[in-house]
Amino acid sequence: MELRHLRYFVAVAEERHFGRAAARLHIAQPPLSQQIRQLESELGLQLLRRTTRRVDLTPAGEAYLLRARQIIAAVSSAAGEAQRVAAGLQGRLVIGCVGSATYSLLPQLVRTLREELPDVEVAVQGEMLAPDQARALVEGRIDLGLLRPPVDEESLQVRVLRSDRLIVAVPDGHRLAERSRLRLKDLAGEDFVIHAGSGRSVMHDTVVARCRGAGFEPRIRHEVAETSTLVTFVAAGLGIAVVPAPVAELMVPGVAYLPLTGQAAVDLAAATRVDDEAPQLRRALTVVSGLV
């Protein structure tokens, strides 16, 4: 039995006439009659009562018509769904994001994805450090990472999206808060609040390296995993922090943000698995590239 047998049967059952059904199907009447007889023979039962003027359904034919319509509809629906998935218009996408991009890029990205790809289920795991995102990508727990390079993993592809300048977050009332801008060496001797230790955070390594390049070792008092916690600690007066400029969008009371002189900046990149060719991922990459 083939799907065409079901289509032929449904056409005859709905038209109640072989001639009209044949015209509807754009085939000759004799082959249509032959196909219906083959179907009945395979099933071992009579589906149609034939007269010289019309065709009627047997009780078995009535039951078979109901199921045949459901099967044809299911096949059509499956084809449509497969086409939408192949076009990247349907599916699932899990996004990981570093803290600073969580507050700036991520909200606009998710809104745009929902507008342009309403049938793609978008899930977000925010406040993930870059090494955690790299592991999650390799293990297939996320599909797209918005992170700070470098990423030392051959199975991942990294595309730089933009460069975020570095700024200094200081508590309101701090002696540096009145300055219009700062140099890194102005931070020597200050207590630092910084992202989690070496190897766990790109920002940790970046800040330490730049301080050393400015001639001093940062006095690290607190290490935290989440950017929101880092800024909260600054607001509490526990230290100062060097952060990417988008962090200022958190608008935490009690914190002043000051620009750094020079070209101090960190990249924000999109990371994916090299072998991930999911159409919805390609569409998401196009969207995110258009937002930065």
- pTM exceeding 0.75: no
3 state SS of 122: strand
Residue 52 confidence (pLDDT) above 80: no
Separation CA 2–CA 234 (nearest Å): 70
Range of lowest pLDDT (28-37, 58-67, 85-94, 124-133)? 85-94
pLDDT tens, residue by residue, 57-112: 998 989 999 998 998 888 877 776 666 656 555 678 999 998 888 878 888 888 99
Cα Dmax for the chain: 103
pLDDT of 117: 82
pLDDT tens, residue by residue, 141-199: 999 999 999 888 999 999 999 999 999 999 999 999 999 889 999 999 999 999 987 67
What would the DSSP string read from start to end of 83-115? HHHHTTSSEEEEEEE-HHHHHTHHHHHHHHHHH
pLDDT of 146: 94
Buried b (16+ CB within 10 A) or exposed e, 78-112: eeeeeebbeebbbbebbbbbbbbbbbbbbeebbee
pLDDT of 88: 57
3 state SS of 202: helix
pLDDT of 264: 85
Are 222 and 212 spatial neighbours (Cβ–Cβ below 8 Å)? no
Residue 34 confidence (pLDDT) above 60: yes
pLDDT of 270: 95
Residues 6+ apart with CB under 8 A from 212: none
pLDDT tens, residue by residue, 215-269: 999 999 999 988 999 999 999 999 999 999 999 988 889 999 999 988 789 999 9
pLDDT of 272: 95
Residues 6+ apart with CB under 8 A from 49: 55, 56, 57, 58
Identify any residues that bridge with 202 across adjacent strands, giving them in sequence order. Answer: none
Instruction: Find the helix or strand (DSSP H, E) in which 224 lies.
Output: strand 219-224
Separation CA 95–CA 281 (nearest Å): 10
Residue 138 confidence (pLDDT) above 80: yes
Are 243 and 124 spatial neighbours (Cβ–Cβ below 8 Å)? no
Residue 54 confidence (pLDDT) above 90: no
pLDDT tens, residue by residue, 201-220: 889 999 999 999 999 999 99
pLDDT of 177: 92
Nearest CA to 230 out of 217, 244, 218 is that of 244
Are 113 and 88 spatial neighbours (Cβ–Cβ below 8 Å)? no
